[in-house]
Structure 1
Amino acid sequence: MSPPSVVAARKDSAPVVAALAFFFLLTAYYIVRPVRDQLAGAVGSTQLPVFYAAIFVATLLLTPIFGVLVAKFPRRKLLVWSYSFFILCLFAFVPAFLAQDHVGARSLGVVFFIWVNVFNLFVVSLFWSFMADVFDSRRAREVFPLIALGGMAGTLSGPVLTRWLVGWLGVAPLLLVSALALGSALILLLRLSARHIPSEKVDEPVGGSPWAGVLELWSRPFLRYMAVLMLLGDGVGTLAYALVADYARAHLASATVRTAFYADIDLAANVLGAVLQLTLSRWLLVHRGAVWALVLPQLVNVALLVMVTLAGHAQWTVLGYGVPLLVAMMVGTRGFTYGMTKPASDALYTRVPRETRYKGKNFVETAVWRLGDLVVTSGISGLGKLGVGLAGIALIGTGASTLGTWVARKAATSPDLAPEIGNAPPPDFGEAARS
């Protein structure tokens, strides 16, 4: 048995190893994202319903498969198989992107959008479910913002590397750089599994039904609230994404230029997210709990949509450059989503049963998320055909985001969440002032 001092040192190193793994994971992901998004910019918003319909169908088919794998196989094997599979896929996609002009952006887009969604299901979402096994709820509130900050560093390095390398290497070789970063993340996660999870649990599968994630959506209030919040909150980002795709199609001619453009958007959004992680998000989670960390981003969405309703296609001048308001909305919604909403919701998932963390969470963050994308992009297309302009679409989004603020509060205070472990509820500063 290791001496207590060694055990304590290993425990203290767990957040550092996790943050570094998340750094490499999101570096890999944010190299892939601009490569994917430039395909959307090539075809415009009218083709996005096709992309998202394919993604939604694929997600419904793959969710029970993911459930079977989680139920039957130990986490170490699941990590190795999942990450290794996607590393091989990155190598396999290189020839397709070298021949993008011949294959066609629409055909390649359907395939690659589906693949990136599966990547999210088996790699990104699995990471946070794994973290919920490593840390209890009290410890999670302390370290999840720090781990997310490591990821935020990855979300900065990914776009910067993409912006720097795409003009030199082109689009296709970027996938090889992503594969290298993903392999580094796998090595660190295996180290975390070996040193920071009790030996009797390291090879223990989650068990249960592969359909548990779908079934619990109807039986667990917390998951229902999170599903509705996903539909309402993500709808704003999808709205901005679709309209920015039209802008990119109209103004950016080549795949290289579009990739650099989307890398710049990711970089700006992730800088905002990193600033939030360093300042407001951790303070809210530690001192006020998850309620305000979920509600505040919805209020920001409302404010951004009101500005779009009033100003439409106006441009802001930022550091001497004209920035379309739609791009600013996309940056703002993404920044608050990843800088505040995500660490708050991930901390809440430590207070539900283990099967819910892996299966219910993955179902909400994949199938429900992609259903929202399909509904929003189809709705934008339908409203456009009916003659509804940008201001009308933004006004509808404002109403949805206003409802989202109420749903966010209900999710953070859901009665089926377990009490915080070893930590008193956040103080009521109003009550302290009255006393």
Structure 2
Amino acid sequence: MAAYYIIRPVRDQLSGAVGSQSLPLFYGAVFLVMLLLTPVFGMLVARFPRKRLLGWSYCFFALCLFAFVPAFVAQDQIGARELGVVFYVWVSVFNLFVVSLFWSFMADIFDSSQARQVFSLIALGGMAGAVVGPILTKYLVQWLGVAPLLVVSAVALLLALALLLFLSGQQGWRQEDGEPVGGSLWAGVRELWSRPFLRYMAVLMLLGDGIGTLAYALMADYTKAHIADKIARTAFYNDIDLYTNLIGAVLQLTVTRWLMTRHGAGWGLVVPALVNLVLLLGLALVGSGQVELFGYAVPMLAVTMVGSRAFAYGMTKPAQDALYTRVPRETRYKGKNFVETAVWRFGDFVVTGGVNLLGMLGATMAGMASIGVAISALAALIARRAGHAPDLAPESPATGTAAQGPAKA
């Protein structure tokens, strides 16, 4: 997660350089690539053991990070729009093969009872990396510039690989966890139509992504208008990530684990949707104005973006992954990754295109936020149903030793 959050502000400063009008191009290219890569990912998961797949994926993306360094050195000559299309696509593929594969691995080795107890703690470890990454970026971008940050990200990714391979080789993992998943290359697409739980998760991904992408598109216009320098834009987006992840870490240390263990993972999907509803009501009332927080005047748009993301990472993500422990192994890898990549990027494309259309029709920020309020209310209803989907396996009974390690054979 540190590796990922080092490159996020590097990516986001490209969108801040071109504004929201170019985002449909970025996301459209990402969506098409994700559709093409879905059977490739399915083939790799079906045929290769987890340990080998992890090693190949992490090494490949570390090499890619080194290869991107010259391109970012020449960003002004290449152009933010052209480099942005390529880098947006690459970061999304990175998310498929690195971040999402990690969580599929976690859902594979813990049962649902263990997941309710430890997933918020595992996510907290990831959140620690998501805090360390922006802190490193905050200081290094001023000292090194933008391009060398990719080298730092590559080093962090290789360290993560070493730890994952160590975990994968520990005694006590179930033998089948090291075997290929098998099954159809297109299983992720097929299961989306056959499993009610995946359909709920796909709809939730689209609705939740609609809120996040709306805030992101509006923020891209804000940074294009107010922050011209690429180092300053990188630092600005880095600060958003830093505050987001700090709040997310606090959630995981306090509310999330308690909520999931006492009331079930389903509520970890409902509460963030309700929080989004409140934040968007505030944005609809305040618009582009500022609010007072701890003695500082902060744009309400930034508050909405940070709050929405913090609950998504600090509560929604561990709750989703805990629910995935209650579906078959093939669904955890192929169906889950299809929802979290292709469906996600389809939502990005549709929402950014919708924001541009509403802007051309004269819609204000307050008007767009009002639409978001209705979307959040619908998301809360769907989230409640997702936690009780008929194809979810029963909850595993809680045990006193659940937090001590992965399930044994």
**1:395-424 per-position Cα deviation (integer Å, ceiling 9, x unaligned):** 111111110000000101111100112339
Asked if structure 2 preserves the Cα contact closer than 8 Å seen for 1:216 and 1:223, the reply is yes
The answer (yes or no) to whether the contact 2:29–2:85 under 8 Å persists in 1 is: yes
Secondary structure of the 1:205 match is coil
- 1:155-170 paired onto structure 2 within 5 Å: 155-170=130-145
**Secondary structure at the residue paired with 2:170?**
helix
1:334 aligns with 2:309: yes
| SS of match in other structure, 1:40 | helix
Give the equivalent residue in structure 1 for 2:342.
367
Q: Which residue of 2 aligns with 1:399?
A: 374
Q: Which moved more, 1:190-199 or 1:351-360?
A: 190-199
Shift of 1:199: 6.7
Q: Following superposition of structure 1 onto structure 2, how do residues 150-299 of structure 1 map, counting pairs within 5 Å?
A: 150-196=125-171, 198=173, 200-201=175-176, 203-299=178-274
Question: 2:58 is matched with which residue?
Answer: 83
Residue in 2 that maps onto 1:103:
78
Deviation at 1:319, TM superposition (A): 4.1
TM-score by length of 2: 0.96
Q: Report the Cα offset of residue 144 of structure 1.
A: 0.6
Work out whether residues 114 and 398 of structure 2, in 8 Å CA contact, stay in contact via their aligned partners in 1: no
Cα offset, 1:285, TM superposition: 0.5
- Does structure 1 residue 317 correspond to structure 2 residue 317? no
Structure-1 residue corresponding to 2:404: none
Corresponding letter in the other structure for 1:38 = Q
Give 1:400's aligned amino acid. Answer: I
**Residue in structure 1 matched with residue 112 of structure 2 by the alignment:** 137
Match of 1:8 in 2: none
1:34 and 1:262 in contact (8 A); partners too? yes
> What is the CA distance between 1:142 and its match in structure 2?
1.1
Structure 1 position 202, deviation (Å): 5.2
> Deviations along 1:16-43, whole A, 9 cap, x unmatched?
xxxxxxxxxx000000000000000000
- Residue deviations 1:194-235 (CA, integer Å, cap 9, x gap): 005537335410000010000000000000000000111121
* Letter in structure 2 aligned against 1:417: L
Q: Which amino acid aligns with 2:377?
A: T
Cα distance change on mapping 1:386 and 1:199 into 2, 3 Å: closer
Cα 1:399–1:51 shift into 2, 3 Å: same
**Is the contact between residue 287 and residue 365 of structure 2 (CA under 8 Å) also seen in structure 1?**
yes
Distance in structure 2 (CA, Å) of the matches to 1:293 and 1:200: 31
- 1:48-127 matches, within 5 Å, as 48-127=23-102
| Stretch moving more, 387-396 or 161-170 | 387-396
* CA distance, structure 2, for counterparts of residue 131 and residue 203 of structure 1: 13
Identical pairs, percent: 67
CA displacement 1:66-112 (0-9 Å, x = unmatched):
00000011111100110000000000000000000000000000000
Distance, in Å, in 1 between the alignment partners of 2:199 and 2:138 is 39
Write out per-residue CA displacement over residues 307-332 of structure 1, whole angstroms, 9 at most, x where no aligned residue. Answer: 11111011123344332111110000
Kindly tell me: are residues 196 and 387 of structure 1, through their superposed partners in 2, closer, same or farther at Cα, counting changes over 3 Å? farther
- Do the aligned residues in 1 keep the contact of 2:134 with 2:238 (CA within 8 Å)? yes
Residues 344, 393 of structure 1: CA spacing in aligned structure 2 closer, same or farther, 3 A cutoff? same
Q: By how many angstroms is 1:392 displaced?
A: 1.4
The counterpart of 2:389, out of the listed 407, 411, 414, is 414
Query: How many Å apart are 1:289 and its aligned residue?
Result: 0.5
Shift of 1:143: 0.8
Equivalence for 1:16:
none
Aligned mates of 2:300, 2:171 — CA distance in 1:
46
Asked if the contact 2:141–2:231 (Cα under 8 Å) also holds between the matched residues in 1, the reply is yes
For 2:184 and 2:140, locate their aligned partners in 1 and report how far apart those are by CA, in whole Å. 45
CA distance in 2, matches of 1:111, 1:406: 37
Contact 1:134 1:197 (C-alpha < 8 Å) held by counterparts:
no
For 1:385, the aligned partner's letter is: M
CA contact (8 A) 2:109 2:177 kept: no
Counterpart of 1:10 in structure 2 is none
CA displacement, residues 354-376 of structure 1 (integer Å, 9 cap, x when unaligned): 00000000000001111111111
Q: What does the per-residue CA deviation read over 1:215-261, in whole Å, with 9 as the maximum and x for residues that have no partner?
A: 00000000000000011112111100000111111111111100000
Instruction: Specify which structure has the bigger relative contact order, considering alpha-carbon pairs within 8 angstroms and separated by 6 or more residues.
Output: 2
Gaps in structure 2 of 5+ consecutive residues: 400-409
**TM-score by structure 1 length?**
0.90
The aligned length equals 399
